[in-house]
Amino acid sequence: MAISPSFTASQNSGTPNIIFLTDTSTGTDVTIAKRRVYLLQSNGTYLVPTGTTTDYIDWALVDTTISLNVLIQDTALSITVQWLTSGNVEVASLTTSFAFTAYNETFYYGLTESQVANANLTASTNWYQTKMILRVELDSAYQAISFASDIFSAQAALNRATFISTNQSYFF
């Protein structure tokens, strides 16, 4: 049975800098010898780990999952995985867009914890409005990805959310 390319991407709140990719492909192709990963950012550049001299990341075929230490903030990416022969001929390829939001989601959860600890915070219109703006920006990023695979709009929303979290002393 020919290969049906598939992969998932995930992120953990405890390590928001790391993206985990898991190959969930079905089928086989004996000519496949390796994989490559391209992480396209909204500004048209490729994101790679420090020290990588190519636009791509090699992903050994024996590893079902790869962890990539590449994020410094919430980021929208168009991720392409290529399944290649030993001569670098593409056998299969799949591109999917993702919004990685663990930085701001962790911050948002911290706001929720503060709200539970001090219910009077919701009496502050500015505090509560800013919390809701943060939620709307995160939801806007998710919608841009799920509705249109639009990493540009998603990144713009994530940048607005990051502005709130990195300048929290002005908002909360």
- pTM assigned to the model: 0.94
Name 42's Cβ contacts closer than 8 Å, sequence gap at least 6: 76, 151, 152, 154, 155, 156
Q: Which residues contact 158 (CB under 8 A, 6 or more apart)?
A: 73, 74, 75, 76, 99, 101, 104, 137, 138, 141
Distances (CA, A) of 14 to 19, 32, 106, 157: 12, 34, 9, 22
Q: What is the pLDDT of residue 125?
A: 80
Q: How many residues does the chain have?
A: 172
The pLDDT of residue 1 is above 80:
no
- State the Cα angle at 136 between 107 and 124, rounded to 5°: 70
List the domains of the chain with CATH numbers: 7-100 (2.60.40.10), 102-171 (no CATH)
pLDDT, tens digit (0-9, with 9 covering 90-100), for 27-75 = 999 999 999 999 999 999 999 999 999 999 999 999 999 999 999 999 9
